[in-house]
Amino acid sequence: MSSSPPYNKLSYYTFGTPNGLKPALILEELGLKYDSHQVNIMKNEQKEPWFLDINPNGRIPALKDGDLRVFESGAIMLYLTDMYDKEKKFTYEYGTDLYYEMLSWVMFQMGGIGPMQGQANHFRLMAPVYDTYGMKRYIDETKRLISVLEIRLSKADWLAGDKYTIADMASWAWVKGAPSVDIDMSEFPGVERWIKRIAERPATEKAKTATGALPDDKMKEMFDGMKAKMDAKKDEAK
């Protein structure tokens, strides 16, 4: 093994969630050979000692390249493009204006869309009680963040420059699921076209399979059932 990365022995630890999907998208777009390991977060496998050695935060996803560990989905995506995208197909040359434009959109997802839509998902789908305030707060903020994407995507195909990059992959993995928290995507036609554009890429379907994500129709059925249970809690509270 070489003394510095890349080591070309990739193991990806994931689950069928938006964050689990994000690095899988770039792994598949680059056509990299990697071992995919399902970490069942429904059984708290991410809290087991073997996984905490890879990610001390006890969250999926995580990546190992040889003995090197990388955790946090955004860090994994940057590592993969830094080390394996030598032709800069899905990134830009480090230090250029477009590199920092791309990085800004990646961080926008990491600090905004992911946390806010994650909370919207919790309150609309999984909270132990029906919380009108929590739902409204996080769904409204998710809509605001999607409207920021719309500013760009109403006049461009991609978030950074003129090509599909990890900036698009990061946000797409989350935003495609916005209808599950009752967000009408027809309000954001540019985003809606962008979602469809990425969904149609062959690597996208491969990435979904690698993470063990449910097919879209099954996912919708599951979320509809979760919303119905949450709505029943509202009725019980009356």
Residue 40 inside a domain? The answer is yes
Q: What is the pTM of this model?
A: 0.95
Domain CATH for 229: 1.20.1050.10
What is the domain count for the chain? 2
pLDDT digits (tens, 9 = 90+) for 158-168: 999 999 999 99
pLDDT at 214: 87
Determine how β-strand 10-14 pairs with β-strand 62-65. antiparallel
Beta strands in 140-224 (DSSP E): none
In sequence order, the 6+-apart residues with CB closer than 8 A to the CB of 6 are 65, 83, 84
Could you tell me the residue range of the domain that residue 165 belongs to? 97-237
Report the Cα 68 to chain-centroid distance in Å. Answer: 22
pLDDT in tens, the chain (238 residues): 567 788 889 999 999 999 999 999 999 999 999 999 999 999 999 999 999 999 999 999 999 999 999 999 999 999 999 999 999 999 999 999 999 999 999 999 999 999 999 999 999 999 999 999 999 999 999 999 999 999 999 999 999 999 999 999 999 999 999 999 999 999 999 999 999 999 999 999 999 999 999 888 999 999 999 999 999 998 776 6
Is the domain of 124 the same as that of 230? yes
